[in-house]
Amino acid sequence: MEDTIFDKILRKEIPSDIVYEDDVVLAFRDINPQAPTHVLVIPKEHHPDAAALAAEAPQIAADVLREAQAVADEEKLESYRIVFNTGSGAGQTVWHAHTHVLGGRGLEWPPG
Ligand code: AMP
């Protein structure tokens, strides 16, 4: 199993700005925020990307989405974007499934 920076964050080997944690998911602020709110929600169980997470653990995928909504509620975001970059061509750089919760500014469509 690949050991990514998010696995190290999960084990508290490197610090992160955690906004929520339970037995299934961890939510923490992105170190390089692209919007006033930029929170990453990750499953504690290791899956390399969103596609693998959905196929191998659909209940945990649902828990990640539920937490993304909870982050948006907590941050009082009227509009927000949930992004799963899947594959290097789409900008994925960390091979532990995660979603970005982005909000607090206008978001253009289509994205770059
Ligand atoms: P992606 O490019 O979709 O794989 O997203 C990976 C995200 O992880 C990027 O937005 C990075 O800024 C973020 N990131 C990388 N290292 C850390 C870290 N130590 N703490 C918080 N966020 C990080």
Q: Evaluate if pTM is beyond 0.85.
A: yes
Spatial separation of the C-alpha atoms in residues 112 and 108, rounded to whole Å? 9
Between the CA of 98 and the centroid of ligand 1 the distance, in Å, is: 9
Task: Answer for the pair 97, 50: CB distance below 8 angstroms, yes or no.
Answer: yes
Per-residue pLDDT of the chain (112 residues; tens, 9 = 90+): 679 999 999 999 999 999 999 999 999 999 999 999 999 999 999 999 999 999 999 999 999 999 999 999 999 999 999 999 999 999 999 999 999 999 999 999 999 8
Active-site residue set: 98
Task: Count Cβ atoms below 10 Å from residue 13 Cβ, excluding itself.
Answer: 10
User: Cβ(94) to ligand 1 under 6 A?
Assistant: yes
* The pLDDT value given to residue 2: 74
CA of 34 to the centre of ligand 1 (A): 11
Substitution site in 12, 49, 64, 93 for ligand 1 pocket (most atoms within 8 Å of beta carbon): 93
